[in-house]
């Protein structure tokens, strides 16, 4: 068996965040032990700190996880947790969602979350969400097993983590991908080169990864934050920088993640940089981030129309945002509006 120490902590965080996103009390990543034709627990998480399933071993075909690997398809099921293939805790009846981890038809393992409330079964949307986190994890795990580029493995893993973090907040589903997309479109308008466009896309996907380090009470608070809470929330850009920094191939993304909340007038954070002292990519991310936040529902306010979002950006040009970047973004949005529907370039779906 290979050692996974390098990515163990990250895998654990992914399980924990996926379970939280799906309102599950337990989450388990099991991998296939090819020699024994068994599944063993790679990492397990539970909301009460007891990882009752840590020593669990299942035959291929046994319990829900075993069946998922055998039949290579996701499953949702309700019943006694023991009959689902898990050890019993205080609750008997549970509902479970299990997705296969596989690469090119080769089964690697299974990702499972369990709710200790059989009245609330998992939905198809839950299945899709866990499925996309699972496929991203499969890539990372396979790279690790094959001893491929360590950096790339770390990158694949934090991409899965970014998905899991974002999934915890249903209001932000798809936000990071869209920020990457808009940032790239602004870059195109400004005439930036291919490499910079890729950097903008990666930075968009990863810009809020530091939210992994923010407590859920603050992250998910369904109301505006008080000043102390705001201070804590603001740490996410520096935490994100620290997560991205070890990846050499993302060296250009590091500063953009750190500075995506700077303001053109110098009143932003974490450094209060002003004007062109803020990296161009970070000024671009700020516009993309603001626009997507305005046109998306939040727990305490409804989304605004595209027209109002454009007005808001215009109003903030020179204050919060770089006027040249705002102008480039408006050119992109307006160009899109003028073209017939079929030619529209769509942002990625949530
Ligand atoms: Fe942010």
Q: Determine the straight-line distance between the first and last CA of the chain, rounded to whole angstroms.
A: 37
Q: Running DSSP on this structure, what letter comes out for residue 349? A: P
Under CATH, to which class is 5-166 assigned? Answer: alpha beta
CA 233 to mean position of chain CA atoms: 17
Q: Give distance in angstroms: CA of 23 to centre of ligand 1.
A: 24
Instruction: Report the alpha-carbon distance of residue 139 to residue 77 in Å, rounded.
Output: 26
Q: Give distance in angstroms: CA of 126 to centre of ligand 1.
A: 25
What integer pLDDT is reported at residue 82 of this predicted model? 72
Instruction: Report the alpha-carbon distance of residue 288 to residue 320 in Å, rounded.
Output: 12
**Tally of CB atoms within 10 A around 197:** 18
In the chain, where the domains are located:
5-166, 170-343
**Tally of CB atoms within 10 A around 7:** 20
Instruction: Report the alpha-carbon distance of residue 253 to residue 112 in Å, rounded.
Output: 32
Comparing CA positions, the residue from 58, 5, 10, 6 lying closest to residue 30 is: 58
What integer pLDDT is reported at residue 106 of this predicted model? 86
Token pair 């500075």: residue: 259
Q: Give distance in angstroms: CA of 189 to centre of ligand 1.
A: 23
CB 95 within 8 A of CB 118: yes
Q: Give distance in angstroms: CA of 254 to centre of ligand 1.
A: 13
Reading the chain (350 residues) residue by residue, the pLDDT tens digits are 344 556 777 888 888 888 888 889 889 999 998 788 899 998 888 887 776 677 888 999 998 999 999 999 999 998 877 767 676 655 578 899 999 999 888 899 999 999 988 888 999 989 988 998 898 888 888 887 776 667 777 887 888 888 788 877 766 778 888 999 999 999 999 999 999 999 999 999 999 999 988 888 898 888 889 999 999 999 999 999 988 888 888 899 999 999 999 999 999 999 999 999 999 999 999 999 999 999 988 766 788 888 999 999 999 999 999 999 999 999 999 987 666 554 445 677 65
Q: Give distance in angstroms: CA of 138 to centre of ligand 1.
A: 27
Instruction: Report the SS3 class of residue 27.
Output: strand
Q: Give distance in angstroms: CA of 237 to centre of ligand 1.
A: 6
Answer yes or no: CATH 1.20.1740.10 is held by domain 170-343: no
Q: Give distance in angstroms: CA of 40 to centre of ligand 1.
A: 37
Q: Give distance in angstroms: CA of 210 to centre of ligand 1.
A: 8
Q: Give distance in angstroms: CA of 257 to centre of ligand 1.
A: 8
Residues 6 or more apart whose Cβ sits within 8 Å of residue 283: 262, 264, 321, 322, 325
What integer pLDDT is reported at residue 52 of this predicted model? 65
């Amino acid at each position: 068996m290979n050692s996974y120490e390098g990515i163990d902590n990250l895998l654990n965080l992914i399980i924990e965040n996926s379970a939280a996103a799906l309102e599950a009390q337990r989450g388990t990543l099991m991998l296939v032990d090819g020699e024994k034709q068994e599944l063993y627990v790679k990492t397990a998480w539970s909301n009460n700190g007891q990882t009752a399933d840590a020593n669990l071993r299942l035959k291929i075909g046994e319990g829900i996880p075993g069946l998922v690997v055998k039949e290579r398809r996701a499953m949702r099921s309700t019943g006694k947790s023991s009959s689902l293939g898990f050890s019993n805790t205080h609750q008997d009846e549970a509902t479970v969602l299990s997705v296969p981890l596989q690469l090119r038809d080769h089964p690697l393992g299974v990702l499972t979350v369990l709710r200790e409330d059989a009245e609330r079964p998992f939905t198809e949307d839950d299945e899709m969400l866990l499925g996309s986190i699972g496929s991203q994890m499969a890539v990372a795990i396979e790279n690790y097993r094959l001893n491929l580029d360590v950096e790339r493995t770390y990158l694949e893993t934090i991409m899965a983590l970014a998905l899991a973090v974002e999934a915890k907040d249903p209001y932000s589903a798809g936000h990071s991908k869209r920020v990457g997309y808009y940032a790239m479109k602004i870059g195109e308008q400004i005439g930036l080169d291919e490499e910079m466009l890729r950097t903008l896309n990666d930075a968009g996907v990863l810009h809020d990864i530091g939210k992994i380090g923010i407590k859920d009470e603050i992250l998910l608070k369904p109301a505006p934050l008080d000043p102390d809470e705001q201070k804590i929330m603001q740490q996410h850009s520096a935490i994100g920088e620290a997560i991205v920094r070890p990846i050499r191939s993302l060296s250009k993304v590091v500063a953009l993640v750190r500075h995506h909340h700077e303001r053109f007038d110098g009143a932003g954070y974490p450094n209060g940089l002003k004007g062109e002292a803020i990296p161009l990519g970070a000024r671009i991310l700020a516009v993309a981030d603001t626009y997507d936040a305005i046109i998306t529902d939040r727990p305490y306010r409804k989304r605004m129309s595209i027209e109002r979002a454009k007005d808001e950006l215009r109003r903030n040009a020179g204050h919060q945002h770089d006027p040249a970047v705002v102008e480039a973004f408006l050119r992109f949005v307006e160009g899109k509006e003028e073209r017939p529907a079929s030619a529209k370039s769509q942002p990625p779906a949530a």
